[in-house]
Structure 1
């Protein structure tokens, strides 16, 4: 009998029973929501007359469903008891607070807002009086920020116990920045330049936390010359910092944009476009170099394999050795001589390819790496062809020339050069295109 059937039997036996919490404070409904057992949640709330819904740290089953980001269970619980949207845990967090933190999908936030009254949006946590909007901005969940602002635009003016608004929170952590920071509601209310308890604007926090949000710096609404309680501008803060979270180059770029934006905003925007173009070019170059080295590692395995095989074949000669003088028995045969020459060529070419691949790990210059890679690739392919010829001539040397087997083997080995030819022909067509 499955767990669902056991739950069903227990509920049907006594639907009036509340089913209270266990030793950890979790009720059956909370556990079902926490473990995403949709059928059990549906069974409990539809059959039990008044089931308990409490859980860990005074959270409710709705908290559990939201934390798990389960839309279906969240919707079922909201239909059953919409008042749970106002319930908070020991830290003062409502389900809406957790929805703002968990992910950037506004669907669950929309569900909560439909079933809750306006007061939930303005509810602050016990640890700092942070609202759901503050938490969404802190974690850079732009879609949730925009959802909250579109329905409750005045909630953007609310601050925490240190005077931080939505823009301040966005500058506390690094992350992906959306357009919500320059939302019309924030511009109209002047929140991009609002000061916290220490006189810091969001731009001051951007500098102190070394956050590279150039679009915010270049925005004409942002006051670049604002001073905090210590009479420091954002430029002063970034100038005196030791650049722990950004590179020295990134710091210089940031200072350059700051300095230009303070004096000539139009020139700063042009400067940013040029820097961005160079940065993208450098990023592409780094990606290309990384890709070359990664491919080189794969090709190195092939080259090393050819080296191993040809080296072993060179000392395990077809026909064996003469017991008296230790010389190869088939030295006088033309096919044997062809084997020795082609095996040596294959060995030299593959060792050269290994050598080039090895030195690719030393260089970081794009041109040098590309030349090394192309030469190593050519040596490997030629070494592969020479190895096949050596194998063919080696077999031909030890098999009777009148035997159909020798001729048939040579024909089979020659088939290797057909895909070899077709592949190079295809590469030539792509190059011409």
Structure 2
């Protein structure tokens, strides 16, 4: 029907409605590539017409996340990447603002992305600034993988992308896998810097060392959540002592009640692992009780929380090891191969992946560093995703 209408009146392709939108705007909003090609064959001028909000069709497509449609627009209108909306933003800015990472991914390595990636809008923000503001780690990773990205551009407020990342990161107790923290690490690893300022101004502007009013609530909420896990581990390990693998010797025997498999080395290892898990979870439960109490000084609560999380991590590992060893000591006399495979499948991935220490207890004054690359040493790099680690080294290699 569209082709018939255009054959009847080709001028329809340029018609504008009350919102200033052309048919090309509606096609870009719907993502209809075939209709887009048809309209562009008749006339490409509507691609250079903005609506009442200053959006061109390429901006509408970016807002909706249609990467292939944007590619077709750029192919018919090569300067589409130079079109700016009412805020001075190109279609890359729009895609980043609306978190359309597929659009950014679609243009990775293309000349269009290289031309747009460092362009600043009327507020001085590049696409990287907007991605950091939105805490979109996927888009940040895609942008930082491009060697043409300049991470140290300063916007109109005098802030670099790293400044925005530090501002967005919780200055109190924070989860190390939050997008803001991962983005902060990624930028620091790739050589991003803070804008030069006096040390006292830095502390005042970024509120270094000043805990927010919600910090005490965090202690209570986290303690309530962790104590459930610690009590569960204590219960399981306590019960394991009275339900030993392999059972006990009958009462009529001189050693009645003793474990049948007590002579085996793996059984002794099971007992040790279970004991460590029980002790660690019990200590964690006690410390969490104090950490969640409003009557305890905040500094002591932070200290108790730290100790409890460390003990909980070790207790969980001990419980997993005890389970694997208990299963092995029971199954090995029957089928040792299955016992070995099961232990390997349980212990290796579980013990290597357990990282219950999700909180940053380091003093935020330690953020003060000229290069800030030392910041990464304050965190446990085990929890960094492989994706970001790959980006780090890829960018370092490209930089060299």
Larger relative CO (CA 8 A, sep 6+): 1 or 2? 2
TM-score, normalised with respect to structure 2: 0.48
TM-score, normalised with respect to structure 1: 0.45
